[in-house]
Structure 1
């Protein structure tokens, strides 16, 4: 314990009304139940930097099925093109309208203890690109919608991120994988997240781990150490 190079951050991803039962437009199954664990982590003095993220979409966002003729949420996809480079594209799943800027559905849930959160990152603000990750959209030639998160973590001397929130198979996953790409150790605490598609979660975990993310339980030694560090 007390390693000089151990400086963790907690990333609380998209704990917003639209992602939570009972009335969220894109409610993740059992999504609200993870809040007590997240609040416990937020209260720990061993974590010097605690950041929350929010989907913060304009009404005309490209990921909303309602913005595409004859397309259905969850079922259909669309191709997204880098607005600065037509040769770079990716495909994304379409969703119900959710987390529209300044609407009740975009608010962080009231049960979340925000008193320990020092920064809130709003993502998905560009209507032209989907952005699951808290770092940037999955476009690199050139990079699009960089939130500045990587720079913030480096400025604070962070070496490792613990990622919790919603949803495990989309925004949590993308955030954790991009953290690894940016040179940080990344741990997803399994009891602190829930997936959109529970039946695919085991496969998603394997893919994350193949990309360098460690998916751990809350009794894992690398989580327990957060409760032991002084």
Structure 2
């Protein structure tokens, strides 16, 4: 076993009290995440960031009324892969958030970042969403397709370091954490979500639905004080 910790999108815009897309209690999980970051059982530590252009397709403000209400309305995206242009997906609209170069895109200062081995900026293609740190909304992982969306090939990086197990924490459990963990499993890693180190956009119902999808994808849901962490040894 060689484990990586993936800290997903612990950014100002996703955290109270001022985040434009704040997740309830999002800032409160920082101590648990810091404890995990300090755990010497992890061979690698990765931090992802939403990093959108101002004209990103998911921003409600970029679409005409009346079909531009954040959280409620959806629009249609096209697959950016050249051979799959006809493939479409519906995309939920959000408030403007995590715009490249803004304070809202920065990692919150409560997170101890000194041991981060790789930062992954994602969602940079203005025409396609990217919740997962591995793949865009259409599941594309080929760097020839995703180069405009993400600045690192996370799967190749983890494989090159001999990683076998991936532990995912951060925000939000029902979106970016969920999709990152599912894609980690699809990429061939043993995948976990640490429940007490994540919070959801829709608490309760959103997390229950996410847990079902995670289980179906073969992702284990654990706690930071569970045996999966303690068996790695090291000090936390």
Q: Name the TM-score class by shorter chain.
A: over 0.9
1:1-230 alignment, distance < 5 Å: 6-70=1-65, 71-83=68-80, 84=82, 85-140=84-139, 143=142, 144-145=145-146, 147-200=152-205, 201-226=207-232, 228-229=233-234
SS of alignment partner, residue 197 of structure 1: coil
Shift of 1:167: 0.3
Q: Secondary structure at the match of 1:92?
A: strand
Unpaired segments ≥5 residues, structure 1:
1-5
CA distance in 1, matches of 2:6, 2:140: 26
Please list the CA deviations of residues 86-136 of structure 1 after superposition, one character each: whole Å capped at 9, or x if unmatched.
Answer: 221111211000000000000000111000101100000000100000012
Deviation at 1:229, TM superposition (A): 4.2
Cα deviation for residue 218 of structure 1 reads: 2.2
Q: Which runs of 4+ in 1 moved over 4 A?
A: 140-143
Gaps of 5+ in 2: none
The separation in 2 between residues aligned to 1:66 and 1:111, in whole angstroms, is: 30
CA–CA separation in structure 1 for the residues paired with 2:157 and 2:77: 28
Query: 1:204 Cα deviation (Å)?
Result: 1.5
